Amino acid sequence: MGRSSTSVDVAVIGAGPYGLSLAAHLRARGVEHRIFGEPMGPWKHNMPRGMLLKSYPWATCLSDPASEFTVKSFCSERALPYHDVLTPLTLERFIEYAEAFRMRYVPAVESKVLTALEAAGDGLRASFDDGETVNARRVVVAVGLHLFKHLPQDVAHFPAQLCSHSGDYGPLDPLDGKDVIVVGSGSSATDLAALLHERGISVSLVARAQQLRFANRPRNRSSIERVVAPLSGIGPGWGLSACAKYPRLVQLLPEQRRIQLANPKALGPLGGAFVKDRVVGKVPMWLGTSIQGIEIRNGKVQLNVVNAGRPALQTDHVIFATGYKADLSRLGFLDQTLLRRIRQVEGAPQLSSHYETSVPGLHFIGPAAANSFGPVCRFVYGTHHPARTLAQYLSSILVRARPALQVRPFDRTVLP
Ligand SMILES: Cc1cc2nc3c(=O)[nH]c(=O)nc-3n(C[C@H](O)[C@H](O)[C@H](O)COP(=O)(O)OP(=O)(O)OC[C@H]3O[C@@H](n4cnc5c(N)ncnc54)[C@H](O)[C@@H]3O)c2cc1C
Q: SS3 letters for the chain?
A: CCCCEEEEEEEEECCCHHHHHHHHHHHHCCCCEEEECCCCHHHHHCCCCCCECCCCHHHCCCCCCCCCCCHHHHHHHCCCCCCCCCCCCEHHHHHHHHHHHHHHHCCCEECCCEEEEEEECCEEEEEECCCCEEEEEEEEECCCCHHHECCCHHHCCCCCCCEEEHHHCCCCHHHCCCEEEEECCCHHHHHHHHHHHHCCCEEEEECCCCCCCECCCCCCCCHHHHHHCCEECCEECHHHHHHHHCHHHHHCCCHHHHHHHHCHHHHCCCECCCCHHHHCCCCCEECCCEEEEEEEECCEEEEEEECCCCCEEEECEEEECCCECCCHHHCCCECHHHHHHCCEECCEECCCCCCECCCCCEEECCHHHHHHHCHHHHCHHHHHHHHHHHHHHHHHHHHCCCCCCCCCCCCCECCC
pLDDT at 268: 67
Same domain, 205 and 132: no
d(CA 345, CA 336): 17
Asked, for residue 244, whether it belongs to a domain, the answer is no
The pLDDT of residue 408? 44
Atom number, ligand 1, closest to the C-alpha of residue 368? 26
| pLDDT tens by residue, 179-216 | 999 999 999 999 999 999 999 999 999 999 999 999 88
Tell whether 137 and 202 lie within a shared domain: no
- Average pLDDT of the chain is 92
Query: Ligand 1, residues 61, 117, 143, 378: which to mutate, most atoms within 8 A of Cβ?
Result: 143
Nearest protein Cα to ligand 1, atom 16 = 379
- C-alpha span between 69 and 384 (Å, rounded): 13
In a shared domain, residues 35 and 67: yes
Same domain, 87 and 190: no
Task: Check pLDDT > 70 for residue 406.
Answer: no
The CA dihedral of 344, 349, 351, 355, to the nearest 10 degrees, is: 170
Å from CA of 122 to ligand 1 middle = 30
Q: Does 1 score more than 60 pLDDT? A: no
Confidence check: pLDDT of 242 > 80 = yes
Domain end (from 320, 337, 359)? 320
Q: Which atom of ligand 1 is nearest to the CA of 377?
A: 19
Using most ligand atoms within 8 A of CB, pick from 127, 132, 195, 380 the residue to mutate for ligand 1. Answer: 380
Within-domain flag for 416 = no
> What pLDDT was estimated at residue 309?
72
Do 188 and 203 lie in one domain? The reply is: yes
Q: Which residues pair with 231 in a beta bridge?
A: 236
In a domain, 166, yes or no: yes
193 & 298 share domain: yes
Higher pLDDT, 3 or 340: 340
Ligand 1 centroid to residue 174 C-alpha, Å: 22
Cα distances from 234 to residues 113, 243, 364, 372, 374, in angstroms, run 30, 9, 20, 17, 11
What are 180's strand-pairing partners? 203, 317
Mark which of 320, 345, 380 sits at the end of a domain.
320
User: Which of 57-66, 135-144, 162-171, 266-275 has the least mean pLDDT?
Assistant: 266-275
In angstroms, what is the span from residue 145 Cα to ligand 1's centroid? 6
In a domain, 265, yes or no: no
130 and 42 share one domain: yes
**Atom in ligand 1 nearest the alpha carbon of residue 37:** 44
Determine the distance separating the centroid of ligand 1 and the alpha carbon of 331, expressed in angstroms: 15
Residue nearest to atom 10 of ligand 1 (CA): 379
* CATH number of residue 25's parent domain: 3.50.50.60
Q: What pLDDT score does 231 carry? A: 84
Residues 301 and 346 in one domain: no
The amino acid sitting at 179 is D
The Cα 366–Cα 363 span in angstroms is 10
| Shared-domain flag, residues 280 and 360 | no
Rounded to the nearest angstrom, the distance between the alpha carbon of 314 and the centre of ligand 1 is: 33
Determine whether 252 is exposed, middle or buried from the number of CB atoms within 10 Å of its CB (0-12, 13-18, 19+).
Answer: exposed
Q: Determine which residue's CA is closest to atom 12 belonging to ligand 1.
A: 379
CA-nearest residue, atom 31 of ligand 1: 16
Quick: pLDDT tens for 143-170. Answer: 999 999 999 888 878 999 999 999 999 9
pLDDT for 204: 97
* Residue 250 identity: V
CB within 8 Å of 96: residues ≥ 6 apart: 74
Least trusted range by pLDDT, from 137-141, 161-165, 248-252, 405-409: 405-409
Q: Which residue has the higher pLDDT, 4 or 135?
A: 135
Is 210 part of any domain?
yes
Number of structural domains, the chain? 2
Pairing of strands 202-206, 348-349: unpaired
Tell the residue nearest (CA) to atom 44 of ligand 1: 37
Q: Kindly tell me if the per-residue pLDDT of 386 is higher than 80.
A: yes
Same domain assignment for residues 38 and 159? no
Q: Is residue 346 part of a domain?
A: yes
Q: Whose CA is nearest to atom 24 of ligand 1?
A: 144
**What is residue 263's predicted lDDT score, i.e. its pLDDT?**
81
Is 412 a domain residue?
no
- For residues 27 and 128, membership in a common domain is answered with yes
- Return the higher-pLDDT residue of 408 and 304: 304
352 lies in the same domain as 275: no
Q: What atom in ligand 1 is closest to the CA of residue 366?
A: 26
Mean pLDDT of 215-224: 85
- What distance in angstroms lies between residue 400's CA and the mean position of ligand 1's atoms? 32
Nearest-atom index, ligand 1, CA of 15? 49
- Mean pLDDT over 234-257 rounds to 91
pLDDT exceeds 70 at position 412:
no
Distance 142 CA to ligand 1 centre (A): 8
Classify residue 166 by burial, with Cβ atoms within 10 Å: 0-12, 13-18, 19+.
buried
The total of other beta-carbon atoms located within 10 Å of residue 292's CB is 11
pLDDT, mean of residues 136-143: 98
Domain that holds residue 90: 5-148+324-399
Point out the ligand 1 atom lying closest to the alpha carbon of residue 43.
29
User: Is residue 116 scored above 90 in pLDDT?
Assistant: yes
> Which residues sit with their C-beta closer than 6 Å to ligand 1?
13-19, 36-38, 41-43, 47, 53-55, 60, 113-114, 142-147, 167, 188, 333, 366-367, 378-381
Residue 258 clears pLDDT 60, i.e. is over it? yes
The atom of ligand 1 lying closest to the CA of 166 is 1
- Using the mean position of ligand 1's atoms as its centre, give its distance from the Cα of residue 179 in Å: 29
Average pLDDT over every residue of 325-339: 96
**How many CB atoms neighbour CB 299 within 10 A?**
8
What is the C-alpha separation between 48 and 45, in angstroms, rounded? 8
Domain presence at residue 86: yes
